């Protein structure tokens, strides 16, 4: 059997049903066998977009997808997408074409050592030069992507390897099996004991809980223990908004009025599950650590004790650890009773909603997000990439369900938004869910991978792109102003005047409009939500609105 056919059959058996990519001379051997395979392929416009789409697909469906491209610059365009997925622990399979094996290392046309380039942004990467090793390496690749902390893997395929003949029986191929260390019973029991001894414990739900689909189990544990839950940015939506234990988010960019930050500062014990305590969450690690007792459960042993000092670190998948925590709690007593906050968390949050002002001459971008909250239902999926728009989204958007909010968290990748929304929309439609997916981005971010609007139009995907157009590099302007006392090369006033994003969108066969007032915005969002295909709304907002943020969770600057 030809190796390319072997690979396609393995993809099928491993459960790959969707792929995103661009064919080219270096990968056409493989594409020959994709044509008749039960794998739906989406032709993207840029190689980076293929990886972001596969990334968004997994975030929505919880299933891996494949990203495919040719050699040379096609392959190197994968790097940013792989880095984005790596930072957010998103598994996907990237396959790149390559020159002939005999040409490797000889400066041949479009021949680059992509496997070596990608070693630091993937869990594993291979350049396969032995055709007979292909089945075993494919199985190892799937195993690596899904075992432990999940992440992307890359297979680089020289053209002669793609076209080689090997002996292979697909019926004898055993699909990969994921592996995760089981948490020690004694450690789990100690975790519950430490929480019971605390006066003001708090639980941090991280993105790993969402990836493990363990958020319901964690909420049940929190209810039994009577402990409030803080969500990280990557876990947004993991606990219902109206749940009495939902204390909101914590971090240095979640807003000065975050009940999550206040609760964390008052805590004497912290149980973090599926979180990595990275800098956008903790800020100054010394302030964050304080004299609090930290219990950390994470699937990656390398994360335990890396940022904060832990009294107890447990390597385990959230899906395995949380039921054991609940069992240990039940074995040592009934449901715990703790004092409720003087003002319920949900009521605290209502006080800080930015209510839209219908008579303002220029829209306040923070109020725009409240209008977005009202326009789209809980089943709508959202993507966002980087910058001040992403931060406002994190602060003001109300997400009520898990796996509905897909940000580029660790990498902060401009251009992630639209292709990730394409992948998420495809995934939701394939699983029978609501495929409406909304991209939230700034005017500058819109110009990154904007050509992927053509993909949304070609496949008639219900992707809505909302441009929060302040005609600035907003977050960079804020950093220059407050950290350095100057402003330079951040104004892009032409984005409200010379540039016509409506025409850009219409050129990619999308419906589009530009809005200036609250009434226009509300009407446009209704039309966007009702549209069967892609829809772009260019929302003109105030130029100089700042976002709340600080260097540590105790000192968040608030901007009126």
Four-CA torsion 7, 31, 85, 420, nearest 10 degrees: -140
Residue 349: its pLDDT value, please? 87
* 3-172 and 185-346 have identical folds: yes
* Percent residues over pLDDT 70 in the chain: 100
Task: Let me know: does 556 contact 249? Beta carbons within 8 Å.
Answer: no
Residue 179: its pLDDT value, please? 82
pLDDT above 80 (res 256): no
Residue with tokens 């876990």: 235
Average pLDDT, the chain: 96
| 62 token code pair | 């919880």
Q: How many CB atoms lie under 10 A from the CB of residue 557?
A: 12
Task: Let me know: does 163 contact 29? Beta carbons within 8 Å.
Answer: yes
Q: Enumerate residues 6+ apart whose C-beta is below 8 A from 534.
A: 453, 456, 457, 460, 461, 462, 463, 464, 465, 505, 510, 511
Residue 153 pairs in a beta bridge with 93, 124
The class (CATH top level) of 354-557 is alpha beta
pLDDT above 80 (res 257): no
**Least confident among 54-68, 139-153, 220-234, 255-269:** 255-269
Rounded to two decimals, the pTM is 0.97
Regarding the domain delimited by 185-346, which CATH topology (the fold level of the hierarchy) does it fall under? Rossmann fold (3.40.50)
Determine the 3-state secondary structure of 270 from DSSP. strand
Rg (CA), the chain: 24
Residue 146: its pLDDT value, please? 96
Alpha helix segments (H runs only) across 177-284: 185-197, 207-211, 215-225, 259-266, 279-282
| 131 token code pair | 């055709």
Binned at pLDDT 50, 70 and 90, residue 410 comes out as: very high
Q: What is the pLDDT of residues 267-296, one digit of tens each?
A: 999 999 999 999 999 999 999 999 999 999
> Hey, which bits of 263-422 come out as E strands?
269-273, 293-298, 312-315, 381-384, 405-407
Q: Report the distance separating Cα 249 and Cα 234, nearest Å.
A: 10
Binned at pLDDT 50, 70 and 90, residue 328 comes out as: very high
| 495 token code pair | 């984005």
Binned at pLDDT 50, 70 and 90, residue 151 comes out as: very high
Binned at pLDDT 50, 70 and 90, residue 26 comes out as: very high
Q: Report the distance separating Cα 127 and Cα 115, nearest Å.
A: 6
Q: Counting runs of H as helices and runs of E as strands, what totals does the chain give?
A: 24, 20
> Mean pLDDT throughout 448-462?
98
Binned at pLDDT 50, 70 and 90, residue 178 comes out as: confident
pLDDT above 80 (res 368): yes
Task: Let me know: does 82 contact 51? Beta carbons within 8 Å.
Answer: yes
| 163 token code pair | 């076209």
Q: Report the distance separating Cα 54 and Cα 65, nearest Å.
A: 5
Quote the DSSP letter at residue 67. E
Binned at pLDDT 50, 70 and 90, residue 258 comes out as: confident
Binned at pLDDT 50, 70 and 90, residue 470 comes out as: very high
The verdict on domain 3-172 having CATH code 3.40.50.300 is no
How do strand 556-557 and strand 549-550 relate by DSSP bridges? antiparallel
Q: What is the pLDDT of residues 98-127, one digit of tens each?
A: 999 999 999 999 999 999 999 999 999 999
Q: Report the distance separating Cα 483 and Cα 550, nearest Å.
A: 11
| 246 token code pair | 């939902």
Q: Report the distance separating Cα 416 and Cα 448, nearest Å.
A: 8
Task: Let me know: does 318 contact 297? Beta carbons within 8 Å.
Answer: yes
Kindly list the domain boundaries of the chain, sorted by start residue.
3-172, 185-346, 354-557
> Hey, which bits of 159-206 come out as E strands?
201-205
Burial label, 144 (beta-carbon count in 10 A; 0-12, 13-18, 19+): buried
pLDDT above 90 (res 350): no
Q: Enumerate residues 6+ apart whose C-beta is below 8 A from 498.
A: none
């Amino acid at each position: 059997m030809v190796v390319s056919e072997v690979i396609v059959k393995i993809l099928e058996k491993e459960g790959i049903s969707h792929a995103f990519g661009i064919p080219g001379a270096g990968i056409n051997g493989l594409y020959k066998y994709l044509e008749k395979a039960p794998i739906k392929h989406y032709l993207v416009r840029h190689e980076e977009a293929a990886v972001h789409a596969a990334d968004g697909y997994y975030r929505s469906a919880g299933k891996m997808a494949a990203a495919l491209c040719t050699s040379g610059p096609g392959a190197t365009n994968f790097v940013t997408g792989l880095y984005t997925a790596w930072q957010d622990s998103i598994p996907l399979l990237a396959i790149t074409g390559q020159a002939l094996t005999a040409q490797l290392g000889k400066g041949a046309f479009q021949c680059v050592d992509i496997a070596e380039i990608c070693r630091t942004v993937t869990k594993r990467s291979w350049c396969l030069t032995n055709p007979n090793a292909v089945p075993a390496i494919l199985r190892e690749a799937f195993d690596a992507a899904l075992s432990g902390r999940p992440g992307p893997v890359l297979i680089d395929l020289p053209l002669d390897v793609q076209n080689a003949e090997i002996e292979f029986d697909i019926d004898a191929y055993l699909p990969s099996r994921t592996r995760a260390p089981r948490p020690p019973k004694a450690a789990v029991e100690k975790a519950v004991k430490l929480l019971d001894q605390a006066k003001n414990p708090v639980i941090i739900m991280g993105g790993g809980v969402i990836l493990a689909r363990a958020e319901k189990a964690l909420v049940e544990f929190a209810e039994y223990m009577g402990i409030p839950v803080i969500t990280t940015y990557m876990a947004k939506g993991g606990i219902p908004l109206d749940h009495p234990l939902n204390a909101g988010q914590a971090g240095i960019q979640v807003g000065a009025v975050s009940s999550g930050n206040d609760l964390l500062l008052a805590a004497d014990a912290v149980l973090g599950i599926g979180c990595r305590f990275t800098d956008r969450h903790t800020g100054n690690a010394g302030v964050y650590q304080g004299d609090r007792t930290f219990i950390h459960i994470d699937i990656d042993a390398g994360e335990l004790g890396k940022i904060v000092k832990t009294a107890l670190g447990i390597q385990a998948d959230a899906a395995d650890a949380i039921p054991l925590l609940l069992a240990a709690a039940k074995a040592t007593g009934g449901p715990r009773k703790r004092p409720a906050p003087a003002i319920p968390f949900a009521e605290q949050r209502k006080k800080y909603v930015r209510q839209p002002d219908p008579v303002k001459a220029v829209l306040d971008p923070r109020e725009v997000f409240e209008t977005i909250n009202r326009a789209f239902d809980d089943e709508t999926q959202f993507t966002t990439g980087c910058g001040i728009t992403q931060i406002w989204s994190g602060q003001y958007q109300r997400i009520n369900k898990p796996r509905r909010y897909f940000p580029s968290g660790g990498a902060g990748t401009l251009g992630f938004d639209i292709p990730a929304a394409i992948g998420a929309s495809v995934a939701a439609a394939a699983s029978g869910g609501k495929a409406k997916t909304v991209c939230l981005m700034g005017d500058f971010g819109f110009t990154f991978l904007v050509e992927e609007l053509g993909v949304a139009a070609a496949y008639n995907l219900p992707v809505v792109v909302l441009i929060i157009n302040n005609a600035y590099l907003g977050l960079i302007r804020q950093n220059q102003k407050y950290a350095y006392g100057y402003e330079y090369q951040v104004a892009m006033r032409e984005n409200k005047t010379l540039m016509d994003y409506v025409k850009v969108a219409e050129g990619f066969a999308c419906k589009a409009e530009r809005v200036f007032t609250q009434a226009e915005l509300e009407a446009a969002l209704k039309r966007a939500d009702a549209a069967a295909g892609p829809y772009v709304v260019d929302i003109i907002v105030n130029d100089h609105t700042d976002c709340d943020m600080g260097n540590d969770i105790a000192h968040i600057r608030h901007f009126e």
